[in-house]
Structure formats: structure tokens, C-alpha cells
Chain A
Amino acid sequence: MQLENHANNLQLSGRFDAHEADAFRTSFESIVSAHGGDVHLDLAAVDFIDSTALAEIVRAMKRCREGGHELVIVGVSDPVRVILELTRLDQALTIR
């Protein structure tokens, strides 16, 4: 998985699975610590996301909400959208 963060944007590409969960959490926490506010997560270039990674996104969503902010999914590839729909996480997450 490739992971880039700019200001409050976190952009992932490739496969987001359990092997990448720690790197994601580290990047996410550094954004939250440095910027505050909403965090934008771009999954447009992610081709697969497993259950551990989904749990990590839910954790990130809760973390944002605890601080009065939102985790906003700003880009979703077709396979990730289908996975979010099948797990019904599309109803819990903010997707734009």
C-alpha cells in the first residue's frame, strides 16, 4: 500500500489490509495531532480493503468524532464502495 498525507488529507493506494493497519494508524494520528479538524481520507486508488482495515477506519471515525470532527471519505474506488456497502459501513461513514 502507498500512503501519502498532506495537511489533513490521507491518500492511500493499492491494497489496504492488516499488514498496513499500523502505518495507517500512525499517519492518521500524526494528522490529528498536527492539524485537528476534519480528516479527509482518499480511497480512490485502493483496490482491496480487508476486515482489519475496515475496523481501523471505524476507529479513525470514532477518534475524529470524539474531538467534534469528522472523518470524511473523499474518494472511493468501485471495489471499496462495494465492500463498504456489503458491510453496511457506507451508512456509518461520511462519504463525499
Chain B
Amino acid sequence: MSTETGLASYRRWAAEPLRTAPRYSIVIPAYNESFRIVPTIGAIAAHVSTLGEPWELIVADDGSTDDTVALVEDLGLANCRVLVADQNGGKGSAVRRGVFASRGEIVLFADADQSTPIEHFADLLGKIEAGHDVVVGSRAADGAAVANKSKVRDLFSWGLKTLQRGAFRIPVSDTQCGFKMFTADAADLLFRRQVIDEFSFDLEILWLAHRFGLSVAEVPVSWIDAPGSTVDALQVAREFLRDMVRIRANARRGVYDADNHDPKPLSDDPRGQLAA
């Protein structure tokens, strides 16, 4: 049995590039997150390093105009890669690039503000290991705890959730929580077909999972509204409504019947290399 302490596991992960393929890949999409991302990386690295499996961290920049990229690169973490985007393409595009660059058997994407604590990783992992293809962190499932969510955001969430349930009948109570886990095969299937690049990509991905008959589980999480969000709730709500129509139209036109993206090998992206 390993006697390595949690801190020693982290230090080894931080200093030594993996010699084997990672079991876990964690993708953080990031747009102008210089104020928030370093503590989030610290919390994730400290926790996941204790799980005893090889893992990698991928920060998928979304065309940040602040110091996000330089800050993460300067950390010099051996198993953290930064994927640089020349322009802002939307959270959905950042997550997709991160997923395509991932090498793990299991892929989690997590928001840059640690609004869902990384301690829920094992809860989602348990469902993947039980045979599910996709596991969704949920703020609406029984047992979830939500803190500091504004009334306006609450109202938007309720309205969009109600509409989504009626229009798509996805058996998931919270499509938008930024904490979702996939098997590598499921992630590959879904993100190849994805066409929505903005915030409603989650809805599209879960609808596709439903349509392809993948097994989707929901896990209640605690969620803390982190101040300093770069998200405009009203704009997101408008986009969400527009994208619900787009997803339906895309389905009618057969857009999802074939791949819409070809995962680019990492070597084609000269800046998508190890940050260290």
C-alpha cells in the first residue's frame, strides 16, 4: 500500500510528467479567469492527486484577453496543458477543444470558479464505474445544496428548465451545471456531433446523449454561486431560447446524423503542449 501523503502525491503530479496514459482528464474552460483560476487549479490538483490514479489537467482558454493563459503557463505544472484560442468562440467550443485534447479514460469538465467543489468528483466517478456513460452534477436533484444563487438567476433557471423539459424531455433536472463527467467514448461521440458553441452546448450534449441512447445519471452536488462571473444571465437566457430552436431545426435537417468535428491531433496545435 502506498504511504505517500496527499501533499506528496500533489508534488509528484506537479513535478513529474506522466509516464502512462492518464485515467482521468479534467477540462477547465476559461475566459478571462485570471482572478479566479489559480485557486481552482490548486483545489483540483490537491484533491485529484490523492485519488491514486494518473490524471491530467487541461485549461481550455477561450480567447481570454487578460492574463489567464500566462498565469496558468507560469505555474509550470508538469501535467497541466493550456490550449490557447486566438479568439473567443464560446464555452462550448472551449470544452470541445479540451475534450478532444484529453487522453483520459474518463473526462470531467468543471467550471473555473470551483462553484461545484471538486470533492464531488468521486460521486460522479462512482456512477461512471457503475456503467453510466455520462454523469451530470445537478443542483436540482434531491440532496443538492445551492448557496448564494441570486433570485434573478433562480428565476431564469426555473423558466429555462421548465421550457427545456417540455421541449426536449431530457430526463435530467439540471442541464446547465458546469460539472459533467463522460467516458472517453461517450465524450468522443457527443462532442464530434456538437454544433452549439455557446452556453447551451450542455443542453445539446445531453439531448444527443438521450437521442443516442447513452446511459445518463444525475448526482446531487453542492453549488456555491461564485462572485465575479463573466456571464450575463439575460444574454445567456436569450441564447438558450434561440439554441433550443436551433437544436430542433438541426435535428430535422439531419445535422446530428454525422460528425460535425474531427478531433485534431494535439501535435497540430503548437501551443497545446505541456505548460511546463
Contact = CB atoms under 8 A, between A and B. Distances in A.
Partners in one complex: yes
Interface of A: 15, 17-19, 47-52, 54, 78-79, 81-83, 85-87
B39 A87 contact: yes
Interface string B145-169: 0011000000000000000000000
If over half of B's interface residues share one DSSP class (helix, strand or loop), that class is named, otherwise mixed; here it is helix
A81 B7 contact: yes
B226 A48 contact: no
B38 to A, nearest CB: 5
Contacts of B50: 78
A81 B36 CA distance: 17
B39 A54 contact: yes
B104 interface: no
A15 B40 CA distance: 12
A78 B117 contact: no
Nearest to B113: A50
A49 to B, nearest CB: 6
A81 B119 CA distance: 17
B42 A50 contact: no
Given A19-B148, A48-B39, A79 B46 contact: yes
B10 interface: yes
B234 to A, nearest CB: 22
Contact of A82 (B35, B42, B147, B226): B42
Interface in B133-189: 147-148
Q: Which of B7, B39, B50 has the most CB of A within 10 A?
A: B39
Nearest to B225: A19
